[in-house]
Homo-oligomer: A and B are copies of this chain.
């Protein structure tokens, strides 16, 4: 175990678990009517894991859908009983926070294809009773959003005040506007893209190859024999390099040695090596290798460029597009491409590049900068004149 993590864990243990939202639970929504997927295949029944924070108001105009990144889950905020850490965006969601649960009803939905309570390759195939494995149908970001639309229907929400998320969460936010523009009053895509560049596809492809190179992967049929742990661990290590920036790695690790001296062997000499190994090892305990394959492919397939983001003429969704200076995985020019497409269609869009050294991870940690922009954007959207910017505006508590 790395000393750097020992100290981090000690610090976490000393701090009593807390969240302004208190305890929360993940819920499940299951629908029987199959989804027709973009591939043409059908998937059903489908379960989506989700959480909600705050209360839906009487005219159902205060609902915000928060969307997760690749390896995230529905647990965006609050505490699960027994857990030490709150949800992944707990600093952003809660009373008085930018996604203010005293004002808004915040929903966080998991994705199909995942392994965090929603239907995915590790779920039982109703035809066989055994996990789907690679018999799970191929899915796209559009399919994920189609499933989420059923959840929003089920919750009785006609129009979301906002869809928001970083990375793949931003992709889902964009896809929501592309698929169901009338149902989205505003969108906050963060550190994301209309489509993956060949470099982004390349990283995902190497991630997939690392998993599939592991003989334990067994063409995806490993649920009785155990995860392809080594391959999945290597895959996640690749991911972690791309999540950080050269500068944040320098700040966090520099060339500090793990054990005070060089080992002249193939162990982890440097702290950064220990960190990556640790991250890889932890990841295999919490994520399904097949889900990683399916979801990375869904990301690579997304292409909302060339006018596909805003196709209708009547779209009045407002946008706040955010990127981070040091994010080289989803570089700012990709966010600027989103804005360019929006402006061409005369959509109300604000763009900001936040000055962060955290690389792509910034959407999870650069919270002050995000809050300062998201809070007023949501307020303006929520309190905007009724009828002018769609149903549900003008509501003042």
**A residues in contact (CB < 8 Å) with B:** 39, 134, 138, 195-199, 201-203, 205-206, 208-210, 212-215, 230-231, 233-234, 237-238, 240-241, 244, 246, 249-250, 252-255, 262, 264-266, 268-273, 276-277, 280, 293, 297, 300-301, 303, 328, 331
Contacts and interface: CB of A to CB of B under 8 A. Distances in A.
Contacts of A255: 195-198, 201, 303
Contacts of A134: 266
A210 B270 CA distance: 18
A210 B207 CA distance: 10
In the complex, the count of this chain's copies comes to 2
Given A196-B255, A199-B250, A202-B249, 18 more contacts: A138-B264, A138-B265, A197-B250, A198-B250, A198-B252, A201-B270, A201-B273, A202-B240, A205-B268, A205-B276, A205-B277, A206-B237, A209-B276, A215-B215, A234-B234, A246-B331, A255-B303, A262-B301
A238 B230 CA distance: 16
Residue among A134, A234, A237 facing the most chain B CB atoms (10 A cut-off): A234
Given A270-B300, A276-B205, A213 B230 contact: yes
A264 B41 CA distance: 10
Contacts of A254: 198
A202 B138 contact: no
A249 B199 contact: yes
**Closest 6 A/B residue pairs (Cβ):** A213-B230, A198-B272, A138-B264, A198-B249, A198-B253, A39-B264
Contacts of A249: 197-199, 202
A198 B270 contact: yes
A202 B273 contact: yes
B237 A209 contact: yes
A116 to B, nearest CB: 21
5 contacts: A198-B271, A209-B233, A209-B277, A210-B210, A328-B328
A138 to B, nearest CB: 4
A88 to B, nearest CB: 23
